[in-house]
Each structure stands twice: as C-alpha cells, then as structure tokens.
Amino acid sequence: MPLKERISAFDGLDITPEQREILEAIREFVDREVIPVAKELEARDEFPTKIVEGLRDMGAFGMRIPAEYGGLGLDLVTYALVIAELTRGWMAVSGIVNGQYIVSGMIGAHGTDGQKQNYLPRLAVGEIRSCFSMTEPDAGSDVQAIRTIARREGDEFVIDGNKMWVTNGDRASLIALLVKTDPDADPRHTGMTALLVEKEALVAQQNGLTVSPPLGKLGYHGVESVEFAFEEFRVPVSAVLGGEEMIGKGFYQMMSGIETGRINVAARGLGISLRALELSLEYAQQRSAFGKPIGHHQLIQKKITDMATRIEASKHLILAAAKKKDSGQRADIEAGMAKLYATETCQRCAEEAMRIFGGYGYSTEYEVERLYRDAPLMMIGEGSNEIQETIIAKGLLKRHELI
C-alpha cells in the first residue's frame, strides 16, 4: 500500500515553483519507468537502455549545460535534487547521468570555445557519452600519485598507463583524463594535465587503448565500471582541456569537477536513504509481531526516527553546499561535509532498513538488500569519507586561521 504522504528529496525545502515542476516530473518518471524494472535489470547487471532513452528525451543529459549549447542550464541545487530522486529509483540511473554532468561541467568551466562548440551540444542531447578518469590501480584518494604519463612528441601527446574504476567507460566516446605531462614536477600537481580523449564506444581494442570487460562489483550494477590500459595512445595537443596554455593545470581542473561531484555523491546517498525510509515505513505498518504492527514497537520507532532526522539534515547540508557553489564561491568544505554526512547516513539507513525487514531484508526478493549493497560505494566514491574528514579540518583551519 502506498504512503499517505510521500517521501521526497525536495519536500520541505525552499525551492521555486519551476524547480518543483522539474522535480515532480523526475519523480513521476522514476515511479513509472525506473522502480518497476530496477530489480530485474539490477539482478542481470543489465544496462537500462529504455530508461536512458527516456532521460534523453527529457533533456536529463543536458541539465547543467547552458541553453546556448542546447542544454537546460539548471542550477546545481535543482540538479542535486534531481540526482537524489533518480537514485531513489535506482543508483545506476543517476550514475549514468553523472558522468555526462562532470565532464560537461569541466568543459563549460575550463574548455576553449572550440571545445565547447564541439562537445557540449552533443553531450546535451546524449548523442555522445562521457566519463571521468582519474583513479589508478595505485592511486585513489591520493590523486597526485597517479602514474599515467603523456609525453609530448611534436603536436601530439603519447599516453601510457592504466586507469581503474571508470564508470561509463565502455559506452563513453569522450574521456576527461588526468595524466602527468611532467613526472618530475615539484610540487607534483604542477606536472598534471587534463586531456579530452576521444574513443569509440563499445570497442575493446583501439589504437593503443584497451578497455577491459566490466569489473565485478558488490553493487552498483547496471552501469559498467572498467579499466583503461593505454599503450602508445596518441592524442593531439589540442586535446588539452582549455588549450595548450593549460598544460600543467589539470589537477585544479579535475578537482573542480570533484568538488561538484561530491555534492552529487551526497545527493545519491540521500536518494538511497529516502528509499530505505520509504520502504521501512511501508513495511513497519504491514508487518505485525506480538499482536501489533512492528511500527508500534519502540525499538522500530527509534530506527525510523533516526533515519528520518538524518535524512532531513542531509537535505540541508546538500542544499547549502549547492547554493554556495552556484554563487561562484569555493565550496570544498561544504561539499565535503555534505558528502561525509549524507553518505554515512545512507549506509546507516540501508542497514536499519535491513534490520526492520528482518530475514526478508536479506532476501533478493526485496529491494532492501540492493540498497544495502549499493550504499558502501557512496562512502568511497569521489574521495573516501576518511579523506573528507581531513579536507574539512584542513579547510576550516585555513579559512579561520589566526591573524
């Protein structure tokens, strides 16, 4: 039975009628097109082709791309809440959209006029897909430890190295790739460059690039994560994000993408939490024990209270970070706080939902077990939560240092 009053990412927030209209449309799409098929597709680890086509028709791939390039030009607040609602249906769906968002945002902020004209209109309509590639087998949160090298030969860069956990990497035609163009630079980040690398979608071997089969994962099924192996892979110098004068500036460009990416991950954590609470409220009123619905037992009530309170706090942390970023200010601390809290809440809500469902929560027949498998990635992605704690503390000490 449906709940009398729904659970959503945006109810209770100070948003405009236009934002609400967009979010209502996304929520309706999720209820109609995503939730009914997510269990079956996720179990087969199947890419949700029909859902992606529907999102493309809605303009979802161009949500943050300016209207002049064919996008919707939405603010970050609206986008984050859209991501939460998509994740409420199935995290794979928001992950597919996210790759497009981060790369198009980097091109919009740092690209040359030619790069914007070339890529943004095609990204906006979903004609091409993109992925963000920074992590390596021996470099995750320590970004400056990457080993992938791009050495210059005339008007080309020759790339050698490996990248791991590239979401959307197989289906992408455009890679935002972080490489070292000066391995001996000191400090290390000054020798790093961001490249816009074109490749063929769904082709495993191509001109010095090998794309692995999808990597096995605990959760986050339905969207591929792959490894890239570059061997003498050549790109023109014009592939440097922002043009040749931006060689050595790639670390800052990629970190700008990560900052907004952390707000995105926080929103995805919120989406999982929302669905966990929604399912728990339904089940707690349907399942009886000791002569009454389990929702009338204090211990279950405590779990529901904790989940709902943490969700409301997560909403406002995400909203604050997105608003600050939208205003043009640095939001590294706020994004880190939102990511840290919302994803820890996500893990907690998924576990509490499983406890409320009892043995059924452990069964693949129920959606709760999928939430439980998807949640841990949110604490790791876009910089682990342990790293977020360091970023927040260092940022606060720098922002509020003694005069």
* CATH code of the domain covering residue 173: 2.40.110.10
**Contacts for 97 with CB less than 8 Å, ≥ 6 apart:** 55, 60, 61, 63, 83, 86
**Contacts for 54 with CB less than 8 Å, ≥ 6 apart:** 29, 33
Task: Give the active site residues.
Answer: 382
Question: Looking at the structure, do residues 243 and 382 belong to the same domain, yes or no?
Answer: no
Q: What is the DSSP string of 280-341?
A: HHHHHHH-EETTEEGGGSHHHHHHHHHHHHHHHHHHHHHHHHHHHHHTT---HHHHHHHHHH
For residue 11, the model assigns a pLDDT of: 87
Query: Does 6 fall in a domain?
Result: no
Question: Looking at the structure, do residues 224 and 347 belong to the same domain, yes or no?
Answer: no
Q: Which residues of 91-214 form beta strands (DSSP E)?
A: 130-133, 149-153, 156-167, 174-180, 192-198, 205-206, 209-211
For residue 177, the model assigns a pLDDT of: 98
Long-range contacts of 310-313 (CB under 8 A, 24+ apart): 310/273, 310/341, 310/345, 310/348, 310/349, 311/270, 311/273, 311/274, 311/277, 311/345, 311/349, 312/12, 313/341, 313/345
Question: Looking at the structure, do residues 358 and 382 belong to the same domain, yes or no?
Answer: yes
For residue 185, the model assigns a pLDDT of: 95
For residue 34, the model assigns a pLDDT of: 98
Residue finishing a domain among 109, 124, 139: 124
Separation CA 249–CA 179 (nearest Å): 11
For residue 62, the model assigns a pLDDT of: 95
What residues of the chain score a pLDDT lower than 50? Answer: none
* The two three-digit tokens of residue 401, written as one number: 């240092």
Mean pLDDT over each residue of the chain, to the nearest integer: 95
Specify the CATH number for the domain of residue 341.
1.20.140.10
Question: Looking at the structure, do residues 393 and 259 belong to the same domain, yes or no?
Answer: yes
Residue finishing a domain among 222, 248, 274: 248
For residue 260, the model assigns a pLDDT of: 87
For residue 6, the model assigns a pLDDT of: 86
Question: Looking at the structure, do residues 283 and 243 belong to the same domain, yes or no?
Answer: no
Question: Looking at the structure, do residues 269 and 361 belong to the same domain, yes or no?
Answer: yes
Three-state DSSP state, 34: helix
Query: Does 148 fall in a domain?
Result: yes
For residue 383, the model assigns a pLDDT of: 87
Query: Does 116 fall in a domain?
Result: yes
Q: Which domain holds residue 263?
A: 252-399
Q: Give, to the nearest 10 degrees, the angle between helix 49-58 and helix 17-29.
A: 160
For residue 256, the model assigns a pLDDT of: 84
Question: Looking at the structure, do residues 271 and 234 belong to the same domain, yes or no?
Answer: no
Residue 355: count other Cβ atoms within 10 Å of its Cβ. 13
For residue 44, the model assigns a pLDDT of: 97
Q: Are 34 and 49 in contact (CB under 8 A)?
A: no
Specify the CATH number for the domain of residue 101.
1.10.540.10
Distance of alpha carbon 45 from its chain centroid, rounded? Answer: 18
The total domain count for the chain is 3
Separation CA 130–CA 99 (nearest Å): 6
Residues 85-100 have pLDDT tens digits of: 999 999 999 999 988 8
Question: Looking at the structure, do residues 144 and 120 belong to the same domain, yes or no?
Answer: no
The DSSP letter of residue 359 is G
Question: Looking at the structure, do residues 79 and 40 belong to the same domain, yes or no?
Answer: yes
